Amino acid sequence: MQAARLHEYTDDMSHALQIEDVDRPVATQPDDVVVEVSGAGWCQTDNHIIEGMWAEYVPQELPMTLGHENAGVVAETGAQVSLVDVGDPVICHPVQTCGTCRPCRLGEDMYCENNAFNGLTTDGGFAEYLLTNERAVIPLPGGVDPTDIAPHADAGITAYHAVKKAARELNPGDHAVVIGIGGLGHIGLQCLNAMSAATITAVDVKDEALDLAADLGAHYTVNSDEEDLRQRVAELTDETGAAQVLDFVGADATTGYAPDIVAAGGDHHVVGYGGHVHQPAQALVNGEFSYRGTLVGKYSELQELVALVDRGDVELRTSRYDLDDINTVAERLEHREIEGRAVITPP
């Protein structure tokens, strides 16, 4: 089968991955599931993996097939698999978990002590077939296209996970700010609309992204290159600030907004990453606000997101690309030239 492989870390996205012929995975363990990939979403994290940003955090043995946002049709199952059958359409949670360690017993899939992360620590879905396990696959309802839904396996569930935490703290009349209406942010905005009664302000530096935000239900929009975001949030909230901020950019500039735009006792959820948090300890003490990180999401949360998609509450803006175009996609995303999510379709 053909697969897009990373052989060495690089900042040059034009030749980052190589299309190669490799052996098709087979089900050797009783809980194995082999999926014929219909679509695999390209994520900013893929660019970060190519750059070597994850090498110090997780074990990575190169060459490796990238791709952690995967959906398709079951092609083969292990002897003990009962959740799905050959021919079933599925979306794949990116993390394969053991189910027996303490974090798994507590329902905290992302903290599994024996996990394998497709496209990050083991071969992913930028290929014709993907090897995963039964604990990672979610059957799709009829009418949901596995190609279109693929990016929800990471982008969607990550946005949903952050919004679910924020929504627990939001009451009618509260204000929420969504920073970055890109591949994750446009999903998070819709989830926030569906799951809370908060007033939502969308923030971006591109007018077309803000137009999309307005179409998806944002009550206010702010171009932070043209307006003072701190002042605008103060005006919109009668100087109290936003109860919850969802930062889908995670740059130094956006995390730096927190002391001035988060309400006392509120949260600044860091979803995008690449920047840093640089604040005096006194700023956190005075405002009693918190920075909260976001690490993908639980298997059950991906089930919940699929339900929202099936109900029509969340739509995904995607564009499709052939596997041979994969480095073009990497370059375009690096230059912020892709709206919504890019989906790689194998041959």
Per-residue pLDDT reduced to its tens digit, 89-99: 999 999 999 99
Amino acid at 190: Q
pLDDT for position 340: 82
73: pLDDT confidence band, cut at 50, 70 and 90? very high
| Nearby residues of 238 by Cβ (< 8 Å), 6 or more positions away | none
169, pLDDT greater than 90: yes
105, pLDDT greater than 90: yes
pLDDT for position 339: 81
CA distance 165 to 161: 7
pLDDT for position 347: 86
CA distance 132 to 11: 29
The two structure tokens encoding residue 333: 């995303």
**Cβ 219 vs Cβ 212: under 8 Å:** no
Q: Of 9, 135, 144, give the one whose Cα is nearest residue 66.
A: 9
pLDDT for position 137: 98
Question: For 192-221, what is each residue's pLDDT tens digit?
Answer: 999 999 999 999 999 999 999 999 999 999
pLDDT for position 337: 87
Indicate if the alpha-carbon torsion angle 341, 177, 269, 140 is positive or negative. Answer: negative
As a 3-state breakdown, the chain gives helix, strand, coil percent values, each rounded to 5, of: 30, 25, 40
CA distance 247 to 255: 7
Question: For 246-282, what is each residue's pLDDT tens digit?
Answer: 999 999 999 999 999 999 999 999 999 989 999 999 9
Q: Which domains does the chain have, with CATH numbers?
A: 2-154+296-345 (3.90.180.10), 157-293 (3.40.50.720)
Please state the pTM of the whole predicted model.
0.93
**Cβ 71 vs Cβ 153: under 8 Å:** yes
Q: What percent of the chain is modeled with pLDDT above 90?
A: 92
- Going by their DSSP bridges, the two strands 2-6 and 17-21 should be labelled as antiparallel
The torsion angle over the Cα atoms of residues 21, 27, 29 and 33, rounded to 10 degrees, is 100
- Going by their DSSP bridges, the two strands 220-223 and 199-204 should be labelled as parallel
The pair phi, psi for residue 333, each rounded to 5°, is -70, -35
Question: For 221-238, what is each residue's pLDDT tens digit?
Answer: 999 999 999 999 999 999
Amino acid at 12: D
CA distance 32 to 53: 29
The two structure tokens encoding residue 41: 């979403």
143, pLDDT greater than 90: no
DSSP string, 186-226: HHHHHHHHHH---EEEEEES-HHHHHHHHHTT-SEEEETTT
Q: Which H or E run includes 286?
A: helix 281-287
pLDDT for position 317: 87
Give the residue carrying structure tokens 């930028």. Answer: 126
